[in-house]
A = this chain, B = another copy of it.
C-alpha cells in the first residue's frame, strides 16, 4: 500500500511489485524530461487532508431556476422531446479576457519594441471570449453523474462553441477545459466546463505546434499517429479503445494517472468530429472519469481539449487530443523552479490500475 500526496491512498489491484528505480523519460512533444520516481510513493506524510466543506446547492447560480444570476445564454441544448434546457452556455461573469462579442474582430497583435531597446514592460489587452458550459440543470458535481444522452449534449456544446470561436470568429486559439473539485481549481461545484478563445497563442502551445510540424517533416507521419501505432503495439499504457478512439497513459506523463484520448484517424480539429465520433467520445470520456473516480474517490480532476489553432487550418501534422487527469499531487518547489516534474506513478502502473478500476 502506497500513498500519493494529497492523502489519497491507492493500491495496485494485483498487488504486484512496483518499479523501484528512478528513471527519466523524454517527452518529445514538449521537449523536456520527466523523472519517474516510484519509490517516492512510500514517503511518510504528515498531512491528513480533510475534504472541503461545500456550500449548499440553494446558493448555486448554475441550477435550473437561477438563470437570472448568470448572463443570458448564448446557446442552450435540450434533450429530445423536452423544452427545458439540459446544457446551457453563458458568458463567464468574471472573464479572464475582455469580451469580443459577435461582429467584433479580434485585434491584430502588436509587439513593437520602441527604439530598439528591449522593453521589459510590454502589455496588451487580452481580447476574446470566456464562456461557461453549464452541463446539467440539477446540482450535480461531476460529468460522471450524467446519463449518456446528457453527456453527448455536453460534447455537442463543446464542438459547437469551439467551432463558433475558431471558424466563425477566427480566434487564433481556443481551449475547452473542465475543473472539478477544489484541487482542480474549481470555484463552483455544479458541473460545468469553460472555453477561453483569444487572439493570443500561448508560447507553449506555439512550441508544441512547431514540434508536431517538425515531426511530420522528418518522419512523414503525424506524431500522434506514430505514437498510437507504437502504443497499440506495446500495449503497456493503453486504457481503453473504441472503434474511433484510443485512451492511454503517455510514456512521459508529468503527473500520476494522466490519460490522453486521441482519434485513431488523423484529425486536426476537435470541432470537425462527426456525430458518431461525438457519441463514442462522450461515452469513452464518461467511462474514463468513472474509472478515475472509482480508483480515487472524491478526488478533483481536470480535462482539456487541445484543438488546432485557427491559423494552422486542417494541417496534416496537428492531431487533436484530450488530456484527463486527477489532481492527486501538488506542484512543489522543485517543479516550479525547474519545470522538471517528478511523477511517483509510472504510466504503465497507472494504465493497469485504471484498467482494473470498475466503470
Contacts and interface: CB of A to CB of B under 8 A. Distances in A.
Interface stretch (A21-29, A156-164, A266-274, A279-287): A21-29
A299 interface: no
Contacts of A93: 43
A342 interface: yes
Interface stretch (A79-87, A116-124, A349-357): A116-124
Interface stretch (A238-246, A290-298, A330-338): A330-338
Interface in A311-359: 323, 325, 327, 329-340, 342
A47 B120 contact: no
Contact of A50 (B53, B188, B304, B340): B53
A251 B336 contact: no
Contacts of A49: 52, 182
Contact of A333 (B204, B205, B302): B302
A120 B223 CA distance: 9
Nearest to A183: B330
A21 B334 CA distance: 33
A15 interface: no
> Which has the most chain B C-beta neighbours within 10 Å: A32, A122, A227, A303?
A122
A22 B336 contact: no
Given A35-B126, A43-B187, 15 more contacts: A22-B98, A23-B126, A26-B111, A32-B204, A33-B124, A39-B94, A44-B187, A46-B60, A46-B186, A48-B55, A184-B330, A185-B331, A196-B334, A200-B340, A205-B338
Interface of A: 5-7, 21-26, 28, 31-33, 35, 37, 39-40, 42-55, 59-61, 93-98, 111, 117-118, 120-126, 173, 175, 177-179, 182-189, 194, 196, 200, 202-205, 215, 218-219, 223, 226-227, 230, 251, 302-304, 306, 323, 325, 327, 329-340, 342
11 contacts: A25-B121, A28-B118, A28-B122, A37-B95, A40-B96, A46-B187, A47-B52, A47-B54, A175-B334, A204-B338, A323-B337
